[in-house]
Amino acid sequence: MSAEVGTPGIAMRSYLSTHHLWAAEHFTRLAAESEATHTGQPRFSIKNRAYVIGAVGESVAFLEAFINELYQDAADGGGDAAGLSPDMARLMAEYWRTTDNAKAVEVTKKYDLARAFAGCPRSDAGRRPHEHEDVTYVVKLRNLLVHYTPKTVSAEDPVYTHIYHVRSRFADNALMAGSGNAWFPDHALGAGCARWAVHSARAFGDEFVAVIGRKANYQIAKFDSP
């Protein structure tokens, strides 16, 4: 009597935060390329708009995925959680399990709580100017784009006031230079905005992992350049 032998399986753990960050950087590069050679009259480009929206969305997706991966690893007792202190991993795991994976918690709040579990200061303490605030506004912009409702506005009418607050922190869309269109969305959503979003997200992540004293998958993974 012979026994059947099954095909050996392979168990893997994927970290999609790294892929989201790569995508955000890739879309940013494409947006910059589409504006770099522009001359002449202003023109709208749906392709350029898609790159910028993609960069903003993927920047926030990176932040969401990365912190969720860290909490899940802590809850599962392995994977990337190996670099966490036992106390931090225990507190993160307990919080994750008792809040239904923190599904109703804002992304920056998850980072602040993780820092607290590590015995570190909140992320708005002792940081470079605007860094924590920039991430907050990147998330606000992503939410505005995802839940967008149109408004009739003039070029002088800053209806989306929370986005106008960061207007000076990135360059306008070069394709729309000279246009009389309202700043948001036509001038705002350009390569400068995409670059600001991905830089803010990555700087926030880098600072977080440096403070808790560990390396992250997105910092060490080897992929082709975006």
pLDDT in tens, the chain (226 residues): 555 566 666 767 788 999 999 999 999 999 999 999 898 999 999 999 999 999 999 999 999 999 999 999 999 986 666 678 889 999 999 999 999 999 889 999 999 999 999 998 766 544 555 667 899 999 999 999 999 988 887 766 767 777 888 999 999 999 999 999 989 999 999 999 999 999 999 999 999 999 888 888 888 887 777 7
The answer to whether position 97 is within a domain reads: yes
Compute φ and ψ for 180, nearest 5 degrees: -90, 10
Answer yes or no: is 5 within a domain: no
List CB contacts of 100: < 8 A, sequence separation 6 or more.
none
Is residue 3 in a domain?
no
Residue 207 counted as domain residue: yes
- Residue 152's identity, in one-letter code, is T
Total domains in the fold of the chain:
1
Nearest to 27 by CA among 5, 47, 6: 47
Contact 206, 69 (CB under 8 A): no
Contact 141, 169 (CB under 8 A): no
Is residue 64, in this structure, part of any structural domain at all? yes
Which residue range(s) make up the domain with 103? 16-34+43-220
Residue 226 maps to a domain: no
Yes or no: say if 44 and 52 are a contact pair by the CB < 8 Å rule: no
